[in-house]
Amino acid sequence: MFIDEASIQVSAGNGGNGCVAFRREKGEPHGGPNGGDGGDGGSIRIHADEGMNTLYPFRFQKRFAAGRGQHGMGSNCTGKKGHDVDITVPVGTIVKDADSGEILGDLAEHGQSLVVVKGGRGGRGNQHFATPTHRTPRRAEPGGEGERRALALELKLLADVALVGFPNAGKSTLIAAISAARPKIADYPFTTLVPNLGVVSWERYKTFVAADVPGLIEGASEGHGLGIRFLRHVERSRLICHLVDAAALDPEDPDAAEKAVSVIEGELQAFAPELAARERVLCANKIEIASKEQIAAVKAAAARRGLRFFAISGAAHKGLDPLVTWLGSRLEAMHAVKPPVTPLPVPPATPDEPAGEPSDA
């Protein structure tokens, strides 16, 4: 089950108390203090693992506690440190303080780790309090308390290309056609309830990752439909592939394609202006059943925006090779000249052309 939000409680271990003890050995009538220090409490770390792709395990385990430090002992023996706890999350997880909303870390790379709560410091034994004038101290420090926090985990999928569009625009069909992903496909709106990832191969051994984002509708940035719940999964993508169902455009409305494209653009802009400015490619989908006028209308909308245009059909497997090749080549060029896309700030809660032939735009 795909889960992209979770809340957990984490508690670090308390430090062990320092010890009050004195040497009592034959031949040492004036043995001094030898109380050992307490061990430090265990800490809790969160680390990213590319082998995970959901926060589902945190539906069942929500509390994590590290071990407390052992108390100090005589003969200057320091107590054992409390055991640390490692929590594994998927790559792309944002860790936030649930109370303040502060972002503690963005685990966007495999193996990246973050200490979320630190264990308490072990108390000092009475050996540390001996002075020339007070040689038999009978006091030691108590161990410090470990930190405690409520954490909110939020997963944002890592994908090179995000497929966006209205419900039933053919996003799931397209990702199933160009990758090994097998999302649910049906002829009713909101068939896709969770994002799907697919690895797309191009030029033999080269690959990139595409994400099928659940359908957007007008008002999605305000919570309509599936709302902003899945819009955030578009944030880390380098390219946005905007699909328009050309066959569904009203042939009697000359502005139908313009309206269809503008709605999705508006939702991206409302969610995050940086996202709306990200490089996009516009595709007229379902060309096997669309008319020449409908395809031409989507192509004209792309030309007005200076966007690359492709006429494709995921169901009929038409025009997919040119699209995949262009996406792969563009991503390769972006990797060569630009650093990775930085994550966007988390928003507050509350078509006539032969298939696959790009236009001059």
Residues 53, 78 contacting (CB under 8 angstroms):
no
> In terms of domains, do 151 and 166 share one?
no
- Is residue 17 within a helix (H) or strand (E), and if so which, with residue range? none
Average pLDDT over the chain reads: 83
> In terms of domains, do 64 and 174 share one?
no
pLDDT for position 359 = 43
Would you say residue 325 lies in a domain?
yes
Residue with the bigger pLDDT between 100 and 205: it is 100
> In terms of domains, do 132 and 228 share one?
no
Q: Out of 106-110, 117-121, 156-160, 338-342, which region has the weakest mean confidence (pLDDT)?
A: 338-342
> In terms of domains, do 280 and 179 share one?
yes
> In terms of domains, do 292 and 202 share one?
yes
Would you say residue 79 lies in a domain?
yes
pLDDT for position 266 = 85
> In terms of domains, do 103 and 180 share one?
no
Tokens linked to 239: 């390219």
pLDDT for position 128 = 92
Would you say residue 345 lies in a domain?
no
> In terms of domains, do 88 and 118 share one?
yes
Q: What are residue 200's phi and psi, to 5 degrees?
A: -105, 130
pLDDT for position 51 = 78
Would you say residue 76 lies in a domain?
yes
Would you say residue 359 lies in a domain?
no
Q: What is the mean pLDDT of residues 305-315?
A: 92
What is the tens place of the pLDDT at every residue in 62-119?
Answer: 999 999 999 999 989 999 999 999 999 988 899 999 999 899 998 988 889 999 999 9
d(CA 164, CA 252): 25
d(CA 323, CA 320): 5
Number of domains in the chain: 2
> In terms of domains, do 168 and 288 share one?
yes
Residue 231, pLDDT > 80, answer no
Would you say residue 354 lies in a domain?
no
Residues 249, 257 contacting (CB under 8 angstroms):
yes
Q: What is the mean pLDDT of residues 41-61?
A: 88
pLDDT for position 220 = 46
Residues 146, 117 contacting (CB under 8 angstroms):
yes
CA diameter of the chain: 108
> In terms of domains, do 147 and 172 share one?
no
Q: What is the CATH number of the domain that holds 257?
A: 3.40.50.300
Would you say residue 355 lies in a domain?
no
> In terms of domains, do 135 and 268 share one?
no
Domain termination site, one of 137, 155, 173: 155
In sequence order, what E strands does the chain have?
5-11, 44-49, 63-65, 85-90, 93-97, 103-107, 113-117, 148-155, 161-164, 196-202, 206-212, 239-245, 280-285, 308-311
> In terms of domains, do 137 and 185 share one?
no
Q: What is the CATH number of the domain that holds 85?
A: 2.70.210.12
Would you say residue 150 lies in a domain?
yes
Q: What percent of the chain shows pLDDT beyond 70? A: 83
- Going by C-alpha positions, the residue among 2, 4, 53 that lies closest to residue 229 is 4
Q: Which residues are CB-contacts of 55 (< 8 A; sequence separation ≥ 6)? A: 3, 4, 5, 6, 89, 90, 93, 153, 155
> In terms of domains, do 234 and 103 share one?
no
Residues 110, 3 contacting (CB under 8 angstroms):
no
Domain termination site, one of 155, 187, 212: 155
Q: What is the mean pLDDT of residues 140-154?
A: 94
* Range with the largest mean pLDDT of 20-24, 62-66, 163-167, 331-335: 62-66
Domain termination site, one of 115, 140, 155: 155
* β-pair partners for 22: 33
Query: Domain containing 204: what range?
Result: 161-337
Burial class for 140, CB neighbours closer than 10 Å (0-12, 13-18, 19+) = buried
Q: Which residues are CB-contacts of 338 (< 8 A; sequence separation ≥ 6)? A: none
pLDDT for position 99 = 92
pLDDT for position 215 = 62
Residue 344, pLDDT > 60, answer no
pLDDT for position 360 = 42
Q: Out of 100-104, 228-232, 282-286, 338-342, which region has the weakest mean confidence (pLDDT)?
A: 338-342
